[in-house]
Amino acid sequence: MRRRLKLAVLVGLCGGLVACGSSGRPEVATSVATPVATPVATPVAVVSSAPTATSSPASPASTPDDPSPATFAHPRAGSPLPDGFVPERLRRGQRPPQFVVVSFDGVGWHQEWQHWMSVARQVPFRFTGFLSGTYLLSDRTRDDYDPPYYAPGTSEIGWGTPADVPVEIGDLNRALASGMEIGTHFNGHFCASAGLPSGGDTWSTRDWDVELDQFFHLLRDYRTDNRLPPAVRLHLTSTDITGDRTPCLEGKPAALYPALADHGFAYDSSVTRSPLSWPTRDRRSGLWQLGMTTFPLHGTDHPVTTMDYNYFFTQRGGVDGTAGQARADQRQVLATYDDLYRSSLHGNRAPVVLGNHFNDWNHGAYVDALTSFVLSTCGRPQTECVPFRDLVAWLDVQRPATLALLGGQ
């Protein structure tokens, strides 16, 4: 079963060019895309890499002669991480690999899990799923979620049935076993931009702390909350969660980042970056800022945040077009992905960060566009299609001078 976001929320979120989030069992995320000038690719020679790994912001990378196994929290140059990715330290004159990082918000739709896991079996492709904690509850156990500001059991994401919870747990376990990363998309999907009285853009650090504590409570207590038998076991633990994307891309870094750092996170993927730019690290929190970018929609000079709902809103105003229009929209978005990939590959090799949802907006145009891009791109020479944690690990093993050179492109 799939849960839809309340229509009023979608409408409220889409008053401008936004990054709406809705998972198969709905949820919406929006953020206004900031207009930027059309990017110009600049060649760069700096660093080189291989597969991927993850690391925590406060943890320095291990030294080459460290005998302990490399972990996501303590990556080591040249040593494989638990998911098999090998973060290589760039030598002088080497170019970085072309990272392609694909992620999905919400991840609460079984059929979409099946689709993307099938894609990952065809090409070397691993992704990040940002889980909404409410998918670990049902309409019968909803009151076990106690959000900031709102009454227990309140959520802008619809509630599934008790039978949906074990299905979601099975999907998460299969993803973990296949090397996928799971981060947090928080819980109730409260967006001030949707006209709600309280949401990400109005929240304090305390509010974010409460919401994160609730996420980890739902992750820890899923069995008792849902009266599940011992045979139903979720393999995802709190230590696996090292990154986030906020609902509607909301949240002021000054309020959000201290809460993320206090919960041991390594990165945030909420703040939109400039096109063709390398990630930077927030000096106060130590978090890597791995947000999506804006890039001109193919055939136009109109920059759009690289997320499916933003394309949907730009092309169709958030309303499904005809089947023929959807096919044209799919081709335009695929061409946009190709434009972005080539500009980066032949330029400064900045990571290509793409965001989607477990949804079928516009007759599946954006699922189809991303599927075609992944199948044609992942596996190309010098290209690494990896989760955020692997990009973080690669960044963590680089020398400061290398990172400064990359950031100066």
Q: Which domains does the chain have, with CATH numbers?
A: 7-64+73-407 (3.20.20.370)
- Collapse the DSSP code of 272 into the 3-class scheme (helix H, G, I; strand E, B; otherwise coil) and give the result: coil
What is residue 9's predicted lDDT score, i.e. its pLDDT?
Answer: 40
Cβ atoms of residues 144 and 134 within 8 Å: no
Sign for the CA dihedral angle at 376, 377, 379, 380 comes to positive
Those residues with Cβ within 8 angstroms of residue 193's Cβ, 6 or more apart along the chain or in another chain:
12, 13, 15, 18, 30, 31, 32, 199, 201, 248, 250
Mean pLDDT for the stretch of residues 38-57 = 36
Q: Does the predicted model carry a pTM greater than 0.85?
A: yes
What is residue 66's predicted lDDT score, i.e. its pLDDT?
Answer: 58
How does residue 407 score in pLDDT terms, banded at 50, 70 and 90?
confident
The DSSP 8-state label assigned to residue 329 in this structure reads: H
How does residue 193 score in pLDDT terms, banded at 50, 70 and 90?
very high
What is residue 57's predicted lDDT score, i.e. its pLDDT?
Answer: 40
Tens of pLDDT along 303-319? 999 999 999 999 999 99
Taking the C-alpha atoms of residue 231 and residue 14, their distance in angstroms, rounded to an integer, is 42
> Residue 4: pLDDT above 90?
no
Taking the C-alpha atoms of residue 383 and residue 392, their distance in angstroms, rounded to an integer, is 16
What is residue 177's predicted lDDT score, i.e. its pLDDT?
Answer: 98
Tens of pLDDT along 13-34? 333 344 443 334 434 333 333 3
What does the mean pLDDT of the chain come to?
87
Helices assigned H by DSSP within 143-204: 164-177
Helices assigned H by DSSP within 151-238: 164-177, 205-220, 222-226
Residue 118 corresponds to which amino acid?
S
Q: Comparing 53-57, 70-74, 372-376, which segment has the lowest mean pLDDT?
A: 53-57
Burial class (CB in 10 A: 0-12, 13-18, 19+), 84: middle
> Residue 61: pLDDT above 70?
no
Residue 173 corresponds to which amino acid?
N
Q: Which residues of 130-163 are buried (b: 16+ CB within 10 A; e: fewer)?
A: bbbbbbbbbeebbebbbbbbbeebebbbbbbeee
What is residue 65's predicted lDDT score, i.e. its pLDDT?
Answer: 58
| Strand partners for 357 | 105
Tens of pLDDT along 261-316? 999 999 999 999 999 999 999 999 999 999 999 999 999 999 999 999 999 999 99
Those residues with Cβ within 8 angstroms of residue 397's Cβ, 6 or more apart along the chain or in another chain:
61, 75, 76, 77, 87, 88, 89
> Residue 44: pLDDT above 50?
no
How distant, in Å, are the alpha carbons of 145, 146, 220, 274, 370 from that of 215?
9, 10, 9, 30, 29
What are phi and psi for residue 124, nearest 5 degrees?
-70, 90
Cβ atoms of residues 62 and 298 within 8 Å: no
Tens of pLDDT along 82-138? 999 999 999 999 999 999 999 999 999 999 999 999 999 999 999 999 999 999 999
Residue 347 corresponds to which amino acid?
G
What is residue 141's predicted lDDT score, i.e. its pLDDT?
Answer: 98
Cβ atoms of residues 309 and 17 within 8 Å: no
> Residue 365: pLDDT above 70?
yes
